Amino acid sequence: MKYITTIIRKLIPKELPIPVGRWRIENCNIQTNQKIDLSNEDHCGPCGQYALDKIKIINDKNDKTNNKNKNAGLDNNVDLEKQN
């Protein structure tokens, strides 16, 4: 009986492991482009433009948030002055 099960297991194709990480095939162009950018960043080091662009985007978002908070505070002060 063990012989028969062994033969059957050899005849049935095994599932191949799915590649993960950078070896995985991407179907989405956005993910493919991100993978390319990050791969180039790995090879170029810290002088790469990708890191500089990301830092600029983060700083711009922080500046917008800070400006909104400051403007909201100014509006509150104006309202308080009108009440007095």
The answer, as to whether pTM is greater than 0.75, is: no
Residue 63 belongs to a domain: yes
Residue 82 belongs to a domain: no
Residue 55 belongs to a domain: yes
Residue 78 belongs to a domain: no
Task: Give the pLDDT score at 22.
Answer: 67
In this prediction, residue 47 has a pLDDT band, given cuts at 50, 70 and 90, of low
The alpha helices in 1-84, defined as continuous H runs, are 2-11, 29-44, 49-83
Range of the domain at 53: 45-73
Task: Please tell me whether residue 18 adopts helix, strand or coil conformation.
Answer: coil
Tokens coding 13: 């194709």
Q: How many domains does the chain have?
A: 1
Residue 22 belongs to a domain: no
**Do 41 and 51 touch, CB atoms closer than 8 A?**
yes
In this prediction, residue 82 has a pLDDT band, given cuts at 50, 70 and 90, of low
| Model confidence pLDDT, tens digit, residues 2-44 | 899 998 888 888 888 777 776 777 788 888 888 777 776 655 5
Residue 68 belongs to a domain: yes
Residue 40 belongs to a domain: no
Residue 58 belongs to a domain: yes
